[in-house]
Structure formats: C-alpha cells, structure tokens
Copies of this chain bind each other. A is one copy, B any other.
Amino acid sequence: MLSIGDLSKRTGVKVPTIRYYEQMGLLAAAERSEGNQRRYERQDLERLAFIRHARDLGLDISAIRELIALSQHPHQPCGNADRIATDHLKSVRDKIEKLKKLEQELARIVSHCDGDHAIEDCYVIRSLSDHGLCDSEH
C-alpha cells in the first residue's frame, strides 16, 4: 500500500494534482487508512501513469476520462479511442500551423529593429499599432 506521497514520487505527479484528479473523476476514490489517509495499490499507480502520459501528450481531462471509460470495456472495438487520438493529432497540427505564422510575423517585426533607435521609430511598436504593416492575416 502506497501513500499519496509515494505515488507522487513514483509518477512525478504532484500530491495536490493527484487529489485534483480524484476530484475530477479520473482516479477512483482511494481506500483510506484508519486515520483517513489515502492508500493506493499497483492498479492506481498504473492508472495515474496513464493519465500523466496522456496529459503529457496534451490530451485534456475530458478526453482522458473518455479513454479510461473505453479501456474498461476491453472487448469493444476501439474506433472511439482512435477517433480521440486522431482528433487530438489534428488539433496539434492546427496549433503548429498557427504558431508558425506567428513566428514568421514576429521574426519579420524583430528583424526590422536593432534595439537602438527611439521608440517613436521602432518597428516593433509601429507594427503593433498598424496591422497593415503585416505580411499575412493572423
């Protein structure tokens, strides 16, 4: 039986975060010691590692809740799990595209500025004031 602190050390998930996951219904309410402290088993460790990994990949709480629910029915087809991961992949790709546009715009703005003239002539400030100076929509 592991304490919440042990679980935390083994998974790298902070103690308050573990309690938060319990509250959000990702982890089942743990058994308690006589003194009302949480006690965990191997199963909980695996579940928490799953959650941690999914969060690292950027999945949000509700997607993880769904995946956990699916994994409880091992004999059903996995189309939904695939869909969740595929949707997420798409949203990651969208985010990358958006950030790349920002990167270009920012790089262009910064490249015009040597950091060494007066604010009134600064391209950084001027570009922010005037969207018309931008190359593309964003």
In the assembled complex, A9 has its CB within 8 A of some CB on chain B: no
Q: Is the pair B99, A95 in contact by a Cβ cutoff of 8 Å?
A: yes
Contact B96 A103 (CB under 8 A): yes
A71 contacts B125, CB within 8 Å? yes
Tally chain A residues at the interface, Cβ within 8 Å. 56
- Complex interface: chain B residues within 8 A of A95 (CB): 99
Decide: B119 and A70 in contact? CB cutoff 8 A. Answer: yes
Contact, CB under 8 Å: B77 / A115: yes
Nearest B residue (CB) for A71: B125
Contact of A78 with B117 in the complex, beta carbons under 8 Å? yes
Supply 6 A–B pairs (Cβ within 8 Å), ascending by A. A50-B128, A67-B124, A74-B120, A78-B113, A78-B115, A82-B114
Besides the known contacts A78-B125, A79-B115, A89-B110, 16 further A-B residue pairs in the complex with CB atoms under 8 A apart? A46-B129, A50-B129, A53-B127, A57-B102, A57-B138, A74-B118, A75-B118, A77-B116, A77-B119, A81-B115, A82-B114, A84-B124, A85-B106, A85-B110, A92-B103, A96-B100
